[in-house]
């Protein structure tokens, strides 16, 4: 099993280019099932989750052709199967995103229930209830979500919890439903906006993307075309935290700084100089040690839960005491237990972590448990004294394109071991 070996202590310096956003590419790949005619996607990150999505599209009969590292063509006109099998869904919960498109375009979908994951139970009840409100006959049978509908009907849906993929599934379903749908308490994440812009480019009629009320007027058909995926704000935030933790100076190009307001604000609060222009973000720590910052995760535009683990690592080596509160998932502190093994002085109390920063962490063998937890352990290794060995890095390969190459480009002493 691959491991990442990191020798800490080198400040990150230099420039890297952001990859396309995993959490925009995944719903957009699912949305290609709605289109008549081929869709050409560019800036698609080369990640295991994207590979899994392509397998899923091919398993229902769509044709997928890779043009080069980051662009591919999908033609779903040949779709002739409507099942998302457990073997694929268990490796990527976002497979649930094919439910809305398959149902809306082909009138049927059998999608394996994703089951829980390391960070929480992560039910899909809101996806199911929303589709039922649109007239689908939908039930849970033998571990599958089984859905049938001649044609979905527009409905007013009020989501009792803000759900990113729930919002995305229902918007996709509504694009081909009969009449108008209103999705209230919708997720406002930039990735939801990117999906809506992609759907609109195919002929969907959507208003309010990025607000908590999304209005969709159903149309008869959506037509394929070209689209480029937005930059990955969480990948970008992860590298910026790495520079802040190691006292370095980096510039990230091909970004959309506005997507990261809450994160950039916290980086400035911890003492970083942050400069942005239309497409790049530069962070300069000038060798300083970061100040610890309080974090409370929330749906966008609040502080993103996907950046919580990274800031937990930053607080572990920052000056002072701080509290991190996780309000989205019930079990998203597994990285904290591993950071303690590296000498972090922190305590977990329910959905909060209280940390008192230490001058230096000590490198150690640690184990990744989920995508962002593994990122935080890599960052801790960069700032630690000595060598850190991160195990189970298949978690990282799901969501970070060329992580060790990009970090090495920034001067990190990191290599992948194929033990
Ligand atoms: C998306 O997951 C992201 N994944 C997650 O990123 C991210 O952490 C999360 O949104 C929150 O921002 C993708 O976009 C592929 P939710 P999602 O539905 O949609 C509850 C990463 O690291 N809920 O917004 O699955 C749920 O339990 C991943 O890239 C229900 O109760 O998350 C959670 O408490 C991790 N019923 C809350 O809503 C439902 O039907 C928010 O979850 C759906 C969700």
114 band by pLDDT with thresholds 50, 70 and 90: confident
Task: Work out which ligand 1 atom sits closest to the CA atom of 119.
Answer: 35
The alpha carbon of 10 and the centre of ligand 1 are apart by a number of angstroms equal to 34
Is residue 63 within 8 Å of residue 231, measured between CB atoms?
A: no
Give the closest residue (by CA) to ligand 1 atom 28: 306
Task: Evaluate if residue 104 carries a pLDDT over 90.
Answer: yes
Among candidate residues 117, 196, 270, 312, the one labeled active-site is 117
Structure tokens at 389: 């060995």
Distance, in Å, from the CA atom of 323 to the CA atom of 344, rounded to the nearest integer, reads: 14
Task: Evaluate if residue 419 carries a pLDDT over 90.
Answer: no
In angstroms, how far is CA 234 from the centroid of its own chain? 7
Task: Evaluate if residue 127 carries a pLDDT over 80.
Answer: yes
Give the tens place of pLDDT for each residue, 218-253. 999 999 999 999 999 999 999 999 999 999 999 999
2, 161, 167 from 125: Cα distances, Å: 36, 10, 12
Is residue 267 within 8 Å of residue 241, measured between CB atoms?
A: yes
**Whether residue 305 has its Cβ less than 6 Å from ligand 1:** yes
Give the closest residue (by CA) to ligand 1 atom 10: 164
Give the tens place of pLDDT for each residue, 391-407. 999 999 999 999 999 99
Task: Evaluate if residue 360 carries a pLDDT over 80.
Answer: yes
Give the closest residue (by CA) to ligand 1 atom 16: 163
Q: Is 63 left (phi over 0), alpha (psi -120 to 50) or beta?
A: beta
Length of the chain measured in residues: 419
The alpha carbon of 370 and the centre of ligand 1 are apart by a number of angstroms equal to 14
Distance, in Å, from the CA atom of 368 to the CA atom of 351, rounded to the nearest integer, reads: 20
Q: Reply yes or no on whether 117 is catalytic.
A: yes
pLDDT of residue 70: 81
For the chain, what is the mean pLDDT?
97
Is residue 226 within 8 Å of residue 43, measured between CB atoms?
A: no
Task: Evaluate if residue 68 carries a pLDDT over 90.
Answer: no
Sheet strands (E) in 132-291: 137-141, 144-148, 156-158, 180-184, 205-207, 213-217, 222-223, 226-228, 249-253, 273-276, 281-284
Is residue 347 within 8 Å of residue 313, measured between CB atoms?
A: no
Give the closest residue (by CA) to ligand 1 atom 8: 306
Sheet strands (E) in 126-225: 137-141, 144-148, 156-158, 180-184, 205-207, 213-217, 222-223
Give the tens place of pLDDT for each residue, 286-315. 999 999 999 999 999 999 999 999 999 999
Distance, in Å, from the CA atom of 239 to the CA atom of 18, rounded to the nearest integer, reads: 10
Distance, in Å, from the CA atom of 31 to the CA atom of 198, rounded to the nearest integer, reads: 8
Q: Ligand 1 test: best mutation among 26, 125, 166, 230, most atoms within 8 Å of CB?
A: 166
Task: Evaluate if residue 83 carries a pLDDT over 80.
Answer: yes
The alpha carbon of 165 and the centre of ligand 1 are apart by a number of angstroms equal to 6
Q: Is 223 helix (H, G, I), strand (E, B) or coil?
A: strand
376-414 as b/e: b if 16+ CB within 10 A = bbbbbbbbbeeebbbbbbebbbbbbbbbbebbebbbbeb
The alpha carbon of 268 and the centre of ligand 1 are apart by a number of angstroms equal to 27
Q: Ligand 1 test: best mutation among 31, 120, 161, most atoms within 8 Å of CB?
A: 161
**Whether residue 116 has its Cβ less than 6 Å from ligand 1:** no
The alpha carbon of 136 and the centre of ligand 1 are apart by a number of angstroms equal to 23
Task: Work out which ligand 1 atom sits closest to the CA atom of 399.
Answer: 29
Task: Work out which ligand 1 atom sits closest to the CA atom of 165.
Answer: 19
**Whether residue 302 has its Cβ less than 6 Å from ligand 1:** no
Give the tens place of pLDDT for each residue, 331-349. 999 999 999 999 999 999 9
Q: Ligand 1 test: best mutation among 130, 164, 335, most atoms within 8 Å of CB?
A: 164
Bridge partners for 416 per DSSP: 4
38, 181, 320, 341 from 205: Cα distances, Å: 20, 11, 50, 52
pLDDT of residue 118: 83
**Whether residue 371 has its Cβ less than 6 Å from ligand 1:** yes
Is residue 396 within 8 Å of residue 4, measured between CB atoms?
A: yes
Task: Evaluate if residue 88 carries a pLDDT over 90.
Answer: yes
Give the tens place of pLDDT for each residue, 15-38. 999 999 999 999 999 999 999 999
pLDDT of residue 350: 94
Can you tell me which residue has the tokens 């043009």? Answer: 67
Q: Is 332 exposed, middle or buried (0-12, 13-18, 19+ CB in 10 A)?
A: buried
Can you tell me which residue has the tokens 């049938």? Answer: 148
**Whether residue 161 has its Cβ less than 6 Å from ligand 1:** yes
Task: Evaluate if residue 109 carries a pLDDT over 90.
Answer: yes
Compute the average pLDDT of residues 253-263: 98
Compute the average pLDDT of residues 185-205: 98
Closest CA to 382 of 342, 350, 323, 337: 342
Q: Is 169 left (phi over 0), alpha (psi -120 to 50) or beta?
A: alpha
**Whether residue 165 has its Cβ less than 6 Å from ligand 1:** yes
pTM of the model: 0.98
pLDDT of residue 121: 83
Task: Evaluate if residue 107 carries a pLDDT over 90.
Answer: yes
The alpha carbon of 105 and the centre of ligand 1 are apart by a number of angstroms equal to 24
Task: Work out which ligand 1 atom sits closest to the CA atom of 234.
Answer: 29
Can you tell me which residue has the tokens 């935290």? Answer: 241
Task: Work out which ligand 1 atom sits closest to the CA atom of 23.
Answer: 14
Q: Which residues contact 107 (CB under 8 A, 6 or more apart)?
A: 148, 149, 150, 151
The alpha carbon of 299 and the centre of ligand 1 are apart by a number of angstroms equal to 10
In angstroms, how far is CA 167 from the centroid of its own chain? 15
Task: Work out which ligand 1 atom sits closest to the CA atom of 126.
Answer: 40
Closest CA to 56 of 3, 13, 22, 93: 93
Can you tell me which residue has the tokens 């937890």? Answer: 373
Task: Evaluate if residue 116 carries a pLDDT over 80.
Answer: no
Angle at 396 between CA 249 and CA 313, to 5 degrees: 50
Above pLDDT 90, what percent of the chain?
A: 96
**Whether residue 45 has its Cβ less than 6 Å from ligand 1:** no
Task: Evaluate if residue 120 carries a pLDDT over 90.
Answer: no
Distance, in Å, from the CA atom of 53 to the CA atom of 122, rounded to the nearest integer, reads: 19
**Whether residue 127 has its Cβ less than 6 Å from ligand 1:** yes
């Amino acid at each position: 099993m691959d491991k990442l070996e990191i020798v800490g202590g080198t400040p990150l310096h230099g420039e890297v280019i952001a990859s396309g956003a995993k959490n925009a590419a995944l719903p957009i790949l699912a949305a290609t099932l709605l289109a008549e005619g081929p869709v050409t996607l560019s800036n698609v990150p080369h990640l295991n989750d994207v590979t899994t999505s392509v397998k899923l599209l091919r398993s229902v009969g769509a044709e997928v052709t890779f043009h080069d590292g980051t662009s591919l063509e999908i033609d779903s006109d040949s779709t002739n199967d409507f099942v998302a099998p457990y073997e694929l869904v268990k490796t990527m919960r976002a497979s649930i995103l094919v439910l809305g498109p398959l149902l809306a375009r082909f009138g049927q979908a059998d999608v394996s229930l994703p089951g829980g994951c390391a960070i929480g139970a992560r039910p899909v009840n809101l996806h199911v209830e929303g589709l039922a409100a649109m007239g689908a006959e939908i039930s849970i049978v033998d571990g599958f979500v089984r859905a049938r509908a001649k044609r979905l009907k527009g409905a007013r849906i009020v989501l009792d919890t803000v759900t990113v993929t729930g919002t995305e599934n229902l918007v996709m379903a509504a694009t081909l439903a009969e009449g108008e749908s209103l999705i209230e308490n919708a997720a406002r994440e930039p990735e939801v906006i990117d999906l809506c812009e992609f759907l609109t480019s195919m002929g969907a009629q959507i208003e309010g993307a990025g607000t908590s009320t999304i209005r969709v007027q159903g149309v008869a058909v959506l037509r394929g075309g070209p689209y480029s995926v937005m930059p990955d704000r969480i990948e970008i935030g992860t590298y910026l935290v790495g520079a802040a933790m190691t006292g370095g100076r980096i510039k990230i190009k091909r970004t959309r700084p506005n997507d990261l307001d809450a994160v950039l604000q916290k980086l400035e609060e911890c003492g970083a100089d942050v400069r942005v222009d239309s497409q790049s973000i530069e962070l300069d720590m000038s060798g300083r040690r970061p100040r610890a910052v309080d974090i409370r995760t929330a749906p966008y535009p609040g502080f993103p839960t996907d950046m919580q683990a990274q800031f937990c690592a930053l607080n572990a080596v920052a000056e002072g005491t701080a509290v991190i509160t996780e309000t989205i998932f019930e079990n998203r502190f597994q990285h904290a237990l591993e950071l303690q093994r590296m000498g972090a002085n922190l305590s977990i109390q329910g959905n909060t972590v209280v940390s008192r920063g230490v001058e230096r962490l000590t490198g150690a063998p640690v184990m990744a448990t989920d995508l962002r937890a593994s990122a935080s352990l890599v960052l801790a290794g960069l700032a630690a004294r000595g060598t850190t060995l991160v195990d189970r890095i298949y978690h990282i390969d799901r969501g970070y394109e060329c992580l060790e190459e990009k970090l090495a480009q920034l001067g990190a002493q990191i290599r992948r071991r194929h033990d």
